[in-house]
Chain A
Amino acid sequence: MLFDPRGHLESLGRLGRRGLIGWIALAALARKVRAQAAPTDTVAVLDAAAARILPSEDGPGAREAKVGRFIDRELQGGLSALRPAFEQLARLLDLWSQKAFGKPFTMLAPVDQDSVLGKLARGQIPVRGFPQQAMFRGLHTLTLEGFLSDPVHGGNDGEVGWRAIGFPEPHLRKPGSGHGH
């Protein structure tokens, strides 16, 4: 085992109003995970994974909202401390996809991508010491953030996420735009 992820799993489970703590715990993990040589295209893998968390069947999903672009920007910006952890996650998804299905993650059929993510979410990929469930939760959170945050952050492209959920009323979007009604 490279490290004991138990405490971090706990904090990553508590997202929402206190989403920040999850990221900080991950930053601590990122420092502990040994870097591997990674020919994996991190953003492409995370983008493909996000597109299975919020698929585009039955209405727009992560792809239309450009969640991959959002994740890339966050991991280069305010959440840059987490980038190594997500590079590791992308690497793990690629390695396991190769082993189980003979192809990198981005080349898998959606049903196989779902199966890989389902294993990750339950911590069932047979790899020692990688905080799979915590990282799945982190990716899940980033996906929701990229789908539903203000487009100024790089996701929710053209407000596609907001329109998909009928939110918000235009008068709620920015202070100043709705006063006087």
Chain B
Amino acid sequence: MATEAFDACVVGSGAGGGAAAWSLARAGLRVLVLERGPHYVAKDFFHDELAVCRRDFFVPDPSRDPHMVSREGGGAERSADGWIACCVGGGTVHMSGYFFRMHREDFRGWPISFDDLEPFYEEVEREIGVSGAGVPGEPRRKAHPLPPLLAHPAARLIEEACAKMGLRAFPIPRAIVSGDYRGRQACTYCGFCGSYGCEVDAKSSTLATFLAAAQRTGGLTLRAGCRATRIVPERGRAGAVLYLDGRGRERRARARAIVVACSAIETARLLLASAVANSSGLVGKGLMFAALGAGYGRFPRDSPAWSRAADRLPFIDRALQDLPGAARGTILFQRPHPNPIFQAEKLAWNRSGPPAFGADLKRRLREFFLETHTVEWESFSEFLPHDGCDVSLDPSVKDAAGHPVARVRIGLHPASLAGSDQLAARAREVLSAAGALRQGESGDERVYTVLQSGTARMGADASTSVVDAACQSHDLKGLFVADSSSFCSSGSAPFTLTIMANAMRVAAGIAGRMRRREL
């Protein structure tokens, strides 16, 4: 078997893997990054909803590489749920890029605090380019490096409605560059962010930022189409990663540090399949997502907020956070995603009974596309871990390479649902105050599986956690986790920025240990 040696081997190239790879390469280390998906570049991204969002451009075909998913105690079935984009840059390629810091109170139960992450938050925002105007209640020493993106005039409606209620709506900080930044072109306001790759690299994915910078150091070896299959301890240390290359040949990469960052579900699967780092028995337990709410308000077509000229501004980009009298969480106001099939499906959805068809469906399409304007809201709030939500190895189903797939149990704690409902009520009050003609729900999904965490928690006690505060395995020296698997709470806002900041912290720790010859 072909064997190579590196200082560090990073498995996964998304938010955590990409940030860690850059930090390690910058420290002068020889870094191998293994990414199971393809290496798309900006010119590969195009606006084709069917091909990009509804087939297997980003996520594996579940007939070959499924997750076996059961919801709320139901039977397990093949699904693409819980996969984050499999390509160089991972989920950061097709994210919307809502880049919040966690707040001090979000770190309750973690072995680290906000202050431990603060310098890394600052560094990530500066390195990749985050556009914003600060966040009320979000501690920061330095302003966002770029001003907010241009907002659609409907943002004013939201701001004024919130002000009437004594609330302050603020621009959503976004990992999209509002001006030319470090050789990258400013956003062109096409609106195809979430679910798509950015064809001008204005989105601050790890593909466009950290990995590109890591390649410039000369220390990065980036291998796409390579699927890690096992971590093999050697002499009581992390040792080596076995992987299948693009041609399906098994190869071995030895490294002083192995950094796993495959997303909370796939990281847990890899650790379980390798039978490492699990003396606590907690790998895969405590899986968390984000509690989600979603709805919309329709506004009159002739409202001055929706001028023809403004139609080219896709973002309302206003947020509320930590509202008095509601569970901690974040409400985002946006214009609808420019995906007509997705919109039509939501329009046809009925709370009970089959989707609308015929004249009823055409009426709903007309109302949405031609007769009104729409403001949508989404809420993200704390997802409490519980026994009915975890990752294990499926006892029988194998992936295309013949390895056991992840079995994922998804369930929402009643308290998480109640908290989410409180936010939904506040969002509806805002849209009423803003003059919505009519409001509704956007479906019955209350678990946002793209934000996943908690399957390899950090903690001081080896019997109640999987990794230590440095995100190194309690059991196996040299084995680190650099994605949201290590998180001890889901927080109250989308946490991609926190994954990056923590990965930078973990990588800085690894580089320090190597300098001191502890690894």
- In the complex, the chain B residue whose C-beta lies closest to that of A181 is B312
Per the 8 Å Cβ criterion, residues 115-139 of A in contact with B are 117, 121-122, 133, 136-137
Q: Among A20, A61, A141, A164, which residue has its beta carbon within 8 angstroms of that of B56?
A: A20
A145 x B79 contact (CB < 8 A)? no
- In the complex, the chain A residue whose C-beta lies closest to that of B54 is A19
A16 x B346 contact (CB < 8 A)? yes
Q: What chain A residues lie within 8 Å of B311 (beta carbons)? A: 169
A14, B80: Cα distance in complex, Å: 12
Q: Among A28, A145, A161, A179, which residue has its beta carbon within 8 angstroms of that of B54?
A: A145
Per the 8 Å Cβ criterion, residues 1-39 of A in contact with B are 6-8, 10-11, 14-21, 24-25, 27-28
Distance to closest chain A CB from B327 (angstroms): 25
Q: What chain B residues lie within 8 Å of A147 (beta carbons)? A: 344
A133 x B354 contact (CB < 8 A)? yes
B342 x A17 contact (CB < 8 A)? yes
Chain A: residues with Cβ within 8 Å of the partner, total of 62
Q: Among A20, A140, A167, which residue has its beta carbon within 8 angstroms of that of B348?
A: A140
Q: What chain A residues lie within 8 Å of B78 (beta carbons)? A: 21, 24-25, 28
B195 x A17 contact (CB < 8 A)? yes
Known: A20-B62, A137-B355. A10 touches B71 (CB 8 A): yes
Q: What chain B residues lie within 8 Å of A179 (beta carbons)? A: 188, 200
Q: What chain A residues lie within 8 Å of B59 (beta carbons)? A: 20
Known: A7-B74, A24-B78. A172 touches B190 (CB 8 A): yes
Distance to closest chain B CB from A157 (angstroms): 15
Distance to closest chain A CB from B486 (angstroms): 27
Is B160 an interface residue when CB atoms closer than 8 A count as contact?
no
Distance to closest chain A CB from B48 (angstroms): 5
A149 x B312 contact (CB < 8 A)? no
A149 x B359 contact (CB < 8 A)? no
Contact with A along B38-80 (1 / 0, CB 8 A): 0000000111111101111001011100100001001101111
Q: What chain B residues lie within 8 Å of A171 (beta carbons)? A: 190, 312
A54 x B62 contact (CB < 8 A)? no
A165 x B50 contact (CB < 8 A)? no
Q: Among A78, A166, A172, A174, which residue has its beta carbon within 8 angstroms of that of B191?
A: A172
CB < 8 Å A-B pair total: 149
B190 x A175 contact (CB < 8 A)? yes
A144 x B74 contact (CB < 8 A)? no
Is A75 an interface residue when CB atoms closer than 8 A count as contact?
no
Is A103 an interface residue when CB atoms closer than 8 A count as contact?
no
Contact with A along B78-91 (1 / 0, CB 8 A): 11110000000000
Per the 8 Å Cβ criterion, residues 350-382 of B in contact with A are 353-355, 357-359, 361-362, 365-366, 369-370
- In the complex, the chain B residue whose C-beta lies closest to that of A24 is B62
Q: Among A27, A52, A172, which residue has its beta carbon within 8 angstroms of that of B338?
A: A172
Known: A20-B56, A59-B362. A167 touches B190 (CB 8 A): no
B195 x A27 contact (CB < 8 A)? no
A122, B20: Cα distance in complex, Å: 51
Q: What chain B residues lie within 8 Å of A27 (beta carbons)? A: 63
- 27 residue pairs bridging A and B, Cβ less than 8 Å apart: A16-B443, A17-B53, A18-B79, A20-B62, A21-B62, A24-B61, A24-B62, A52-B357, A53-B357, A61-B362, A81-B63, A114-B358, A137-B354, A144-B341, A148-B340, A148-B341, A150-B51, A153-B51, A164-B365, A165-B369, A167-B340, A171-B312, A172-B191, A174-B47, A175-B190, A175-B200, A179-B188
Given contacts A10-B77, A25-B77, A150-B51, 14 further A-B contacts (CB under 8 A): A7-B74, A21-B80, A24-B61, A24-B63, A24-B66, A55-B359, A55-B362, A78-B55, A144-B348, A165-B369, A166-B369, A167-B340, A172-B192, A175-B190
Q: Which residues of A approach B to under 8 Å, CB–CB?
A: 6-8, 10-11, 14-21, 24-25, 27-28, 52-55, 57-59, 61, 78, 81, 114, 117, 121-122, 133, 136-137, 140-141, 144-145, 147-150, 152-153, 161-162, 164-169, 171-176, 178-181
Q: Which residues of B approach A to under 8 Å, CB–CB?
A: 45-51, 53-56, 59, 61-63, 66, 71, 74-75, 77-81, 188, 190-192, 195, 199-200, 311-312, 338, 340-342, 344-346, 348, 353-355, 357-359, 361-362, 365-366, 369-370, 443, 445
